[in-house]
Structure 1
Amino acid sequence: MTAIETPERDADYRVPALQRGLTILGMFSARERILGMSDMAERLEISTSAVYRIVQTLVDMGYLQRVGRNAFELGTKVISDGFSYLASRDIVEVSMPHLNALRDRTSLSCHLSIREQTDSLYLYRAFAPQRLTVNIPIGTRLPCHSTAMGRMLLTGLDEAELGQLYQHVRLDDYPAPAPRTLPELQQLIAQDRERGWVLHRSDYSTAIATGIHDHQGQVVAAINLSGPDAVMDTSFAQESFLTTLLASRDSISRELGG
Structure 2
Amino acid sequence: MAGNSREPGRTVTGRAFSVLSAFDAESPRLSLTEISQRAEIPLATAHRLVGELESWGALQREHDGRYAIGLRLWEIGLLAPVHTGLRSTALPHMQQLHERTGANVQLAVREGMEAVYVEKLSGRRSIPVVSRSGGRLPLHTTGVGKVLLAHAPRAVVQEYCARGLARHTPYTIAEPGRLVRELARVRQRGFARTAEEMTVGSCSVAVPVWEGEDVVAALGLVVQSARAEVTKLARILAPAAEAIGRQLDEENR
Q: Per the shorter chain, which TM-score range? A: 0.5 to 0.7
Compute the displacement of 1:133 (Å). Answer: 5.0
> Once the 2 structures are TM-superposed, how far is the Cα of residue 173 of structure 1 from its aligned partner?
4.5
Pair member with larger Rg = 1
Rate the CA distance shift 1:255–1:170 in 2: closer, same or farther, 3 A.
same
Instruction: Find 1:218's aligned residue among 214, 219, 223.
Output: 214
Query: By how many angstroms is 1:105 displaced?
Result: 1.2
In the other structure, the counterpart of 1:246 is: 238
Query: Paired residue for 1:115?
Result: 110
Identity of aligned residues (%): 23
* 1:87 Cα deviation after fit: 4.1
- Match of 2:210, as an amino acid? H
The one-letter code matched in structure 2 to 1:256 is L
Aligned counterpart, 1:204: 201
Match of 2:85 in 1: 90
Counterpart position of 2:23: none
* AA of the residue aligned to 2:220: N
Paired amino acid for 1:207: S
Q: 1:240–1:131: structure 2 CA closer, same or farther, 3 Å change rule?
A: closer
Aligned to 2:18: none
* 1:206 alignment partner AA: C
Give 1:113 deviation, angstroms.
0.8
Indicate the residue corresponding to 2:73 in structure 1: none
In the alignment, residue 202 of structure 2 is paired with which amino acid?
A: S
Aligned length: 174
User: For the residues of structure 2 that align with 1:230 and 1:182, how far apart are their CA atoms?
Assistant: 28
Tell me, yes or no, if structure 1 residue 139 matches structure 2 residue 112: no
How far apart are residue 199 of structure 1 and its match?
Answer: 1.7
How far has the Cα of 1:100 moved from its partner? 0.3
Q: Which runs of 5+ in 1 are unaligned?
A: 1-15, 19-81
Alpha-carbon distance in structure 2 between the residues aligned to 1:92 and 1:177: 31
CA 1:227–1:165 in 2, change beyond 3 Å: closer, same or farther? closer
Q: How does 1:32-111 map to 2 (within 5 A)?
A: 85-111=80-106
TM-score scaled by length of structure 1: 0.60
Between the aligned partners of 2:160 and 2:126, the Cα distance in structure 1 is 39
Is 1:130 the equivalent of 2:125?
Answer: yes
Which secondary structure state, in structure 2, belongs to the residue aligned with residue 138 of structure 1? coil
- Which structure 2 segments of 5+ residues have no match? 1-10, 14-76
2:184 matched residue in structure 1:
190
227, 237, 255: which one aligns with 2:247:
255
**Contact 1:145-1:179 at 8 Å conserved across structures:** yes
1:249: how far off?
A: 0.9
Q: Tell me, in whole angstroms, the C-alpha distance in 2 between the residues paired with 1:224 and 1:190.
A: 18
Structure 2 residue 159 is the aligned partner of structure 1 residue 164: yes
